[in-house]
Structure 1
């Protein structure tokens, strides 16, 4: 929108001494003619614009008009760029790219390279190794539906694999425990529900819009009430790093024979057992006995399929 772009240009000129028309054109992905019109609009609004000709010229705001710009520290800007980079890894949105450009515009020209280098020291990539393209497409659609208040039509499978068609009023996207969720009002169940994105097999944005309802996300359970128990594992040294990354480890020490004994928090559900089985031959559950027995039963059930 023109208004948003004009405001962004004003913010940029307040923190930069001079910006060329070409740089503004590339930053906001509009033509040079559009930029010149925006500059005229800013001038008509009463903000004193200074135009400098030549190869190093550009537009600026009269220095005596500028306000104090020490609102953000260097650390603040680095934190903002790092956080926005995490969202950019999932949401391919021009809004995010424009916001990053605006924030970079708050940095003095002589410091921008050093700032970018520091901001890239920490990278948060929320995309999975496989299937990231589909996830990004669906999330962009959902984000658009949330912004424009459009109903979503989805096909959703519950934990038992039973699929059903739903019409949902989308309200929020939430990332929790390595998974993305859509929070919305389900017209079929007539209540707010949490939908795991990996269980949505069909997604369509409807033309129909909705009037937002009041709700508190804190009242919704993303993963239900889970009970964690402590289990003891015997693991190979090569599995230590994986165990630490995927479980909450309470204690880990050598068993004296070249392996490790670890006490970890464990949620006794399908996902929890699937994580234990990912250790393969490099991990063994020592106790409690009921978890060992359940792993045996699950292995026997799997073997029976191939007999």
Structure 2
């Protein structure tokens, strides 16, 4: 993880007079270009690292600059500890354990209790309540493939239930909302794809290596796209599902309707995903308008009822 590498680079530069970019790249198994970006990030954080060219050149912390355990505030160390701890819950690995140990070594004894208190004020647990048991082992496999630049093979099921066998070059792990994805170059599609972890099965790391290049970052922000596609429908909900409805709209779009109900201006796109959201509220939700969506809701309810007709 990047924060582990940044902390480690700082400690290496503190221990050594000068270190070359290639030596750092070999040490952390990344490209020199990644090291250049890391050095820029360290400089932006306020630790002056300068580069020297020519024979014996490399990077070093400026001679008159001193760093001690007080360089990180209690808030800084707490934030780092929270981030590393949340990742270590999901992705096991010696590097995360080492990073936690290194960060904790920066904590002076007289500030340990305060920093522990602050780091425990926010708990970030990325493990799911329930669901696929493959999540953690698959995350570890993808992480290994990323670090070693090895191909991954797997079966992928699209949202329509169609399964295909894929081989892809992994480039990035992504946590979006409560779901894990990974971005890779798919050999079947000859293009970059974002794969949802819950739709993957039979994941294997291949013996074949690939040379990472520039990659297409996934589109993760859809607010503008969705707002241009969505329309507003009027629904009436029982107060018991108000909290869940707030996952999709704001307080300003919810209006009291008597003591037990609310009228909601609900964002909606006419597809299965949004119809299923409405159905997830059960009999605590009624679509009032527009008429054609209310009619479609009735048709879908009748189709569901037909499945159970004649049953025992």
**TM over 0.5: same fold?**
yes
- Provide the residue aligned with 1:110 in structure 2: 110
Pair 126,231 (structure 1): closer, same or farther in 2 beyond 3 Å = farther
CA deviation after TM superposition for structure 1 residue 174, in Å: 1.0
CA deviation after TM superposition for structure 1 residue 210, in Å: 0.4
Show the 5 A alignment for 1:54-203: 67-131=67-131, 133-203=133-203
- Provide the residue aligned with 1:262 in structure 2: 264
Give 3-state SS (helix, strand or coil) of 1:77's partner. helix
- Provide the residue aligned with 2:248 in structure 1: 247
- Provide the residue aligned with 1:284 in structure 2: 286
Contact 1:247–1:266 (CA under 8 A) maintained in structure 2 = no
Q: Deviations over 1:188-234 (max 9, x none)?
A: 1111111111111220111111011212305x468795422222221
Q: Deviations over 1:124-178 (max 9, x none)?
A: 2222211364201111100110110010001011221111101110111112233
Contact 2:90–2:126 (CA under 8 A) maintained in structure 1 = yes
Q: Deviations over 1:239-291 (max 9, x none)?
A: 112222x2122421211243112223234332322222221122222223333
Contact 2:146–2:170 (CA under 8 A) maintained in structure 1 = yes
Point out the more displaced range, 285-294 or 182-191: 285-294
Segments of structure 1 that go 5 or more residues without pairing to the other structure are 15-64
Confirm whether residue 212 of structure 1 aligns to residue 188 of structure 2: no
CA deviation after TM superposition for structure 1 residue 297, in Å: 2.2
Pair 131,295 (structure 1): closer, same or farther in 2 beyond 3 Å = same
Aligned pairs, how many? Answer: 250
Pair 223,269 (structure 1): closer, same or farther in 2 beyond 3 Å = farther
Q: Over the residues paired in the alignment, what is the CA RMSD in angstroms?
A: 2.9
Segments of structure 2 that go 5 or more residues without pairing to the other structure are 15-64
Give 3-state SS (helix, strand or coil) of 1:296's partner. helix
Contact 1:85–1:123 (CA under 8 A) maintained in structure 2 = no
CA distance in 2, matches of 1:282, 1:299: 14
CA deviation after TM superposition for structure 1 residue 302, in Å: 1.6
Pair 97,233 (structure 1): closer, same or farther in 2 beyond 3 Å = farther
Give 3-state SS (helix, strand or coil) of 2:299's partner. helix
- Provide the residue aligned with 1:42 in structure 2: none
Pair 83,272 (structure 1): closer, same or farther in 2 beyond 3 Å = farther
- Provide the residue aligned with 1:29 in structure 2: none
